[in-house]
Structure 1
Amino acid sequence: MEPRPEALKPVLRGPVVRSFRPRSNGVRLSVGFILAKRFTLCAFANFVDVLRLAADEGDRSRPILCNWTVLSDTMDAVTSSCGISVQPKERLGDPTRFDYIVVVGGLMDEMSNLSPAYVRFLKQAAASGVPLVGLCTGAFMLHEIGLLDGYRCCVSWFHHADFLEQFEGLNPVTDQIFVVDGDRLTCSGGASSAHLAAYLVDKHVGRAQASKSLHIMIIDDALQPEKPQPGITLDFKTRDPIVLRALLLMQQNIDTPLSVQEIARRTGHSKRQLERHFRTALDISPQAAFLTIRLSLAHHLIETSEKSIAQIAVDCGFCDSSHLSRMFRRRFETTPHALRRGRDAAPD
């Protein structure tokens, strides 16, 4: 049997990633899943499907090169955020039978603590050198039990403020789709879960199997972890990584707008360099791009929320509702109040 590919060896913090042993059954990648209450089904399903498609020829789903299972302390079905339940297959047992343990997080507002049995299991896995993976808010759960201390951690740009508010001692990364830091791997969720799974398949099974999985899922190519996360700036189409990172910083600071000088500093470039990249990539200044983001969010909130116009102005970084109204009229040729009245008058 051919030797097992070498384990991940990026910058290590904490326990050294163990060397994988060849398995007599030919499996090259074994993954155990822990599903949080109200977990995000999309993140879980994308990750599993990459493993499934890489494990066998064609689309036959036999767990030959990869295997996976949902673990539980109680064996009770776990309900996802969309209401669909998943039945666990195995008790927790010995974590060293797996190459990775993946924690799939759930909704921020309904995130509950992991049970003592899960905490003991994950700490045993960490002590044994089994790499831990946090999908979506699974990173929050790993950090809460002390298993991300000293590690870089990927968090969705959408949850960046929540992370800073609720957790201390960790610097979240929100300008990448996933982060590999030694024996901790974290992912922003959604489609990026497929790319993290493909990254692991590439490392332990083969690049051809990773590509095959993504192509069957109609995902063009595997993305590397440095790929910036998409955000709400859907009107801005660019592949310039400097501009994308700047746009993400703008999104994360909508209520307290940063100066262009500060954005440039945080991206590691001069103000002039940043302005040049924006002009080349988008034919717009950073200031104008930031205003567009804030006004687009204000427009969205006026149409979809019940927040007052004054509160929306504050949330979007405007001095007051009058300031928002002036900028809003210039951009949309209507006022926030008129847009809200039109929404409320529309037939159901």
Structure 2
Amino acid sequence: MRQVGLILENGFQIMGLSALAAFELANAELGSDGYRMTLLSKSGGIVRSTMNAGIETVALGVMPDTVMVAGELLPGPIAPGVKAFLVRAALEARRVAGVCTGAFVLAEAGLLDGRIATTHWAHARHLQERFPAVRVDEDRIFVQDGNIWTSAGMSAAIDLALALIEDDHGAGLARNVARRLVVYHRRPGGQSQFSALLELEPRSDRVKNALTYAKENLRNALSVEELADAARLSPRQFSRVFREETGQSPAKAVELLRLEAAKAMLESGRHAMDVVARDTGFSDRDRMRRAFLRAYGQPPTSLKRSLKLVGTEELE
């Protein structure tokens, strides 16, 4: 049985506990071969969240197989005892993980020096400024660098836990746990923290419905007429309302959705360029390349190189 210890300090963000739900459901699948979970703190006893919920903890001592650190809404200095325990954990535990702003705790203990790490996007630049030796990637869902793992905020704690479960027991179990949690099977670590649908921020249900339709039918041409029909508006009225609510033309918004989907497919490393272009509605590689250059200032192959996922084909 693998031991998972989650370190809490007063002021922890309660959403960080969601990671333990994934391990709990893994136990339902694994039985006695699963996980033993322990809530830890420097001295043990009651630790309170930002919502003032009290959680009983055990004092730091025996080293778990996997050490996790919960994040705080406002990351601050860590207790010397916690720091010393984490320094030891980097050498003795099989894995150490920071959930959300838990990355600040790992960084203060020196565990992230020279490593790639992530955290909630709202705190990423602060992390980089405070700990310049850390290579902060502010746009990732989670990052693994050696035996050190870090995740973005809030719901990304579940993605991190599912990734750890997959690391232990394979994709099949992680998929079953995700199904029990009623979440999408583990988002790839390289997936962006941002969503084109969230960035567009439509107000009305009609525009939201049109964008959802577009996202689910990227292979289609997605003309203004097709989107207007999904919104149950005339093409002229749809174009006007769409721009008022999103600040974008329908064509530009569709391109953003195609880019987001294409980027996710490329980051998975499992698809050829032609397949990505076809499945995301770009029609051909050259059109996709031009869209990438407009949006990211680099072609798709440069993205793949940066993720160390380049295959044998090139799109230059």
Please, what TM-score do these two structures have when normalized by structure 2?
0.62
Contact 1:33 1:70 in 2 (8 A): yes
Contact 1:77 1:86 in 2 (8 A): yes
- Counterpart in the other structure of 1:104: 70
Q: CA deviation at 1:39?
A: 1.2
| 1:140 lines up with 2:104 in the alignment | yes
| 1:74 lines up with 2:43 in the alignment | yes
The amino acid across from 2:61 in the alignment is G
Contact 2:121 2:139 in 1 (8 A): yes
Contact 2:66 2:93 in 1 (8 A): no
- Counterpart in the other structure of 2:11: 38
Unpaired runs of at least 5, structure 2? 202-252, 265-287, 298-316
| 1:185 lines up with 2:149 in the alignment | yes
CA deviation vs aligned residue, 1:171-196 (integer Å, no higher than 9, x gap) = 21112100001011000121111111
Contact 1:243 1:277 in 2 (8 A): no
- Counterpart in the other structure of 2:293: 274
* Residues 197, 114 of structure 1: alpha-carbon distance in 2 compared, 3 angstrom cutoff: same
Contact 1:32 1:70 in 2 (8 A): yes
Aligned equivalents of 1:239, 1:65: Cα separation in 2: 40
Please, what TM-score do these two structures have when normalized by structure 1?
0.57
- Residue 56 of structure 1 aligns to a residue in which SS? helix
1:55 alignment partner, one of 8, 13, 27: 27
2:123 alignment partner, one of 121, 136, 159: 159
- Residue 228 of structure 1 aligns to a residue in which SS? coil
Taking every aligned residue pair, what percent have the same amino acid on both sides? 26
Matching of residues 183-262 of structure 1 within 5 Å: 183-230=147-194, 233-235=199-201, 238=257, 240-241=259-260
Aligned equivalents of 2:295, 2:91: Cα separation in 1: 48
- Counterpart in the other structure of 1:126: 90
Unpaired runs of at least 5, structure 1? 1-26, 246-268, 279-348
Contact 1:195 1:222 in 2 (8 A): yes
Aligned equivalents of 2:199, 2:293: Cα separation in 1: 17
Aligned equivalents of 2:155, 2:10: Cα separation in 1: 20
Aligned equivalents of 1:199, 1:145: Cα separation in 2: 24
The amino acid across from 2:162 in the alignment is A
Q: Which has the higher contact order (CA 8 A, sep 6+)?
A: 1
> Where do 4+ consecutive residues of structure 1 move more than 3 Å?
234-237, 241-245, 269-273
Question: What count of residue pairs does the alignment treat as equivalent?
Answer: 219
Contact 1:73 1:92 in 2 (8 A): yes
Aligned equivalents of 2:257, 2:16: Cα separation in 1: 25
* Residues 239, 105 of structure 1: alpha-carbon distance in 2 compared, 3 angstrom cutoff: farther
| 1:91 lines up with 2:59 in the alignment | yes
Contact 2:100 2:152 in 1 (8 A): yes
Contact 1:201 1:210 in 2 (8 A): yes
Aligned equivalents of 1:129, 1:209: Cα separation in 2: 23
Aligned equivalents of 1:276, 1:163: Cα separation in 2: 26
CA deviation vs aligned residue, 1:227-276 (integer Å, no higher than 9, x gap) = 1112651436625249879xxxxxxxxxxxxxxxxxxxxxxx99874227
- Counterpart in the other structure of 1:296: none
Which has the larger share of helix? 2
Q: CA deviation at 1:143?
A: 0.5
The amino acid across from 2:14 in the alignment is L
Higher mean C-alpha displacement, 171-180 vs 269-278: 269-278
Contact 1:30 1:67 in 2 (8 A): yes
CA deviation vs aligned residue, 1:57-103 (integer Å, no higher than 9, x gap) = 49xxx765112101122213111122222111x321121xx221001
